[in-house]
Amino acid sequence: LQRMLSIAVEVDKSPNCSSCKIADVIFPFILNIPLRSQREAFINTMESQLLRCKVLDLLFQHSCYVPTTLPLSLAKILYFLSHSSVLLQYQDETATWQKWDEMLQYLSLLLMSYQNVILAFPLAEHLRSSLNDRMDLMIQKAKPKLQDGDDISHLDIEVKIEEFISRMQQVLGQPFPLQIMEKLCMFR
């Protein structure tokens, strides 16, 4: 399935458009996966970084009380950090901190996938372009186009992480488990 989804994104003239369409179709199915391990297996095995970005973007938009109209960018990922609730309404019976842990796991995965789509190694940096255009862009050594929201500062990151920590302290009312602190450090 993952290979077929990856090919479906790649063969389209506009991988960005096809990944949006495919993400829209599979998103309702992801919402109905009851176990975290099953959700993680599905999302972690996605071969298309671009499709993974789109699916995770939909997941976080779904979990925000106030969805944003920002294009996928570093600023939008920070927005998700400070505005997302626990991700899925239909989750297995787990402790509240584990639901937040899952949210941080997916947020880190979104960040890594986004970096692979935009900034990473030469073969991946033009994933939003068609295969033919991508070859031309690589030959020209064209730099990938960054979004307006990709220009964030260390202060922006620290402010959003502090907002997240205070929000979690209100919800949990106890010291954070070590796993949460490790994921926050990794995200930072």
| pLDDT of 183 | 86
| pLDDT of 41 | 93
Q: What is the pLDDT of residues 96-129, one digit of tens each?
A: 778 888 889 999 999 999 888 876 544 444 455 5
DSSP string, 12-78: SS-HHHHHHHHHHHHHHHHHT---HHHHHHHHHT-S-HHHHHHHHHHHHHHHBSS---PPSSHHHHH
- % residues pLDDT > 90 (the chain): 22
Distance of CA 47 to the CA centre of its chain: 14
